[in-house]
Structure 1
C-alpha cells in the first residue's frame, strides 16, 4: 500500500497563497511599528527619568509621543507602500502594452526565461506558445517581474498594521513607568523594554521562518544601546539643570 502523503499535503506549510505578498508586507510594517514604539517611547521615557522629571510630565510626554509616533508611522507606511503600488501598476501597464505591440518578441523572451529554469528549448518554446495562446500577462508578470495582479501591496493594510503595532509597543513602557515609582522606574522600564524587544524578535522570526536567536539578539542589543545613550543624556541634562 502506498503510504506516501499526497503532494499537496507535503507542501501544505509552504507559502503559495496569493495573499503572501500582502501578509509579508503587513508583517514587515507590524514588526517595524512595534519595534519603533517600544524603543522610541522607552528611550524618551528613560531619558526623562534620568533627568528627574515628575511622573505627570513623563506620562503626558509619553502619551503625546505615542500618538504622534503612531500617526507618523501610519502615514509613512501609507506613502511608501502607495508609491510601491503605483510602481507595480506602471510595470503591469508597460508589460501589457509590450504584449500587445510585440507579442513575438515577448513569447521568445518567455521561452528564454523558461530555458533558464532547465527546460529544454523545444519544451520551453512549446510552453511559451501555449501560454501566449491564452492570457499571457499573468505568466509574464510573474516570471519577468515577480508580480501578481491579485496580490499587489495594500497601503491601507500596511499603515494600519504599523500604527496599531506602534501603539501596542509603546503601551508596555508606558505601563511600566505608571506602575513603578522612585528609583525603580529606570530599572523596571529597562527590563520591560528589553523583554518586549526579545518577544518581538522571537515572534517576527517565527512568523518569517528566520533565525530566532539572531533576531532576538539584534533587537535586544540595539535597544539596550539606544536606552543607554538616552538615559545618559537625560542624566547629563538633569545634572546641569
Structure 2
C-alpha cells in the first residue's frame, strides 16, 4: 500500500497578492520614471542642438537636465511616499489604541467586515474570534486597512528607484545626441527616442493590462511633439543670438 502523499499548500511558493501588487507598482513607477527621463532630457538636448552644434554645450545642458531631473524626481517621490508612510503609521497606531481600549467593539467590527464579504453571521463571528485569538492586530489591519505592518512603503527606496529610473532613461538621448556626427545628431536622437518611448509605452500598458496601441501612440506622439517644439525653440533662440 503506497504512502499517502504529504499535504501541500494550494499556494506553496506563491507570493501573496499584496506583495505582487506592490512589485507591480514599483515596476510601473520604474517604467514611468525612465519614460520621464527619456522625454525630459531628449527635449533639452534636442533644443540645445537646434541652437548650437557645439558638443560641449549640448553635453553640459544634457548633464544638467539629467541631474536636476533625477534629483527632482527623487525629492518628489520621497515627499510623496513619506506622507503615505506617515498616514499608514498613524492608522496603525489608531488601530492599536482601539484594540487596547475597546476590544469588544473591534471584534464586532471585524465580524461585520467578514459578514459584508459574504460569510453567514455565525461563521463571520467565528472567523473573527479565531483570528483575534491568533493575532488581533494583524487581523484588523489586514481586513480594515489592507496593510502589512512589516512591509510599509519606504521613502528612501522610492526616491532611489525613481532617480535611478530617470537616469537610465535620460542616458539614451544623451548618447544618441553626442555619439553621431553633427548632421546626424537630431535625426538619430529623434528615432532612438521614438523607439524607446514605444517600448516604455508598451511596457506600461502591459503592466497595467491596458491597450498597448493606445499607450504606445500616446507616448510616441507626446515625446515627438516635445522634441519638435524644443528644437524649433532652440533654432529660433540660436538664430536670434541672445
TM superposition score normalised by structure 2:
0.86
Contact preservation (8 Å) 1:21, 1:151: no
* Structure 2 residue aligned with 1:236: 236
Of 98-107 and 211-220, the range deviating more from structure 2: 211-220
* Structure 1 residue aligned with 2:132: 132
* Correspondence 1:54-65 to 2 at 5 A: 54-65=54-65
After TM superposition, give the deviation of residue 21 of structure 1 in Å: 5.3
**Residue 175 in structure 1 maps to residue 178 in structure 2:** no
* Structure 2 residue aligned with 1:3: none
CA distance in structure 2 between the partners assigned to 1:213 and 1:136 by the alignment: 47
After TM superposition, give the deviation of residue 209 of structure 1 in Å: 4.4
* Correspondence 1:1-241 to 2 at 5 A: 7-8=10-11, 12=14, 16=16, 19-20=19-20, 22-241=22-241
CA distance in structure 2 between the partners assigned to 1:153 and 1:125 by the alignment: 32
Alignment RMSD, CA only? 2.3
Contact preservation (8 Å) 2:48, 2:61: no
Of 52-61 and 17-26, the range deviating more from structure 2: 17-26
Of 141-150 and 71-80, the range deviating more from structure 2: 71-80
After TM superposition, give the deviation of residue 127 of structure 1 in Å: 1.2
CA distance in structure 2 between the partners assigned to 1:144 and 1:93 by the alignment: 13
CA distance in structure 2 between the partners assigned to 1:63 and 1:48 by the alignment: 12
Distance change >3 Å, CA 209–CA 104, structure 1 → 2: same
Distance change >3 Å, CA 8–CA 214, structure 1 → 2: farther
Distance change >3 Å, CA 28–CA 203, structure 1 → 2: closer
Contact preservation (8 Å) 1:29, 1:159: no
Contact preservation (8 Å) 1:49, 1:234: yes
* Secondary structure, aligned partner of 2:11: helix
TM superposition score normalised by structure 1:
0.87
What whole-Å deviation, never above 9, does each CA across 1:8-40 have from its counterpart, x for those lacking one? 37x95xx52664354234324322321111010
After TM superposition, give the deviation of residue 230 of structure 1 in Å: 1.5
Distance change >3 Å, CA 94–CA 21, structure 1 → 2: farther
CA distance in structure 2 between the partners assigned to 1:204 and 1:191 by the alignment: 20
What whole-Å deviation, never above 9, does each CA across 1:142-162 have from its counterpart, x for those lacking one? 121111112211112211111
After TM superposition, give the deviation of residue 98 of structure 1 in Å: 0.8
Question: What stretches of structure 1 of length at least 5 have no aligned partner?
Answer: 1-5
After TM superposition, give the deviation of residue 80 of structure 1 in Å: 1.7
Contact preservation (8 Å) 1:22, 1:151: no
After TM superposition, give the deviation of residue 208 of structure 1 in Å: 4.6
Contact preservation (8 Å) 2:32, 2:204: no
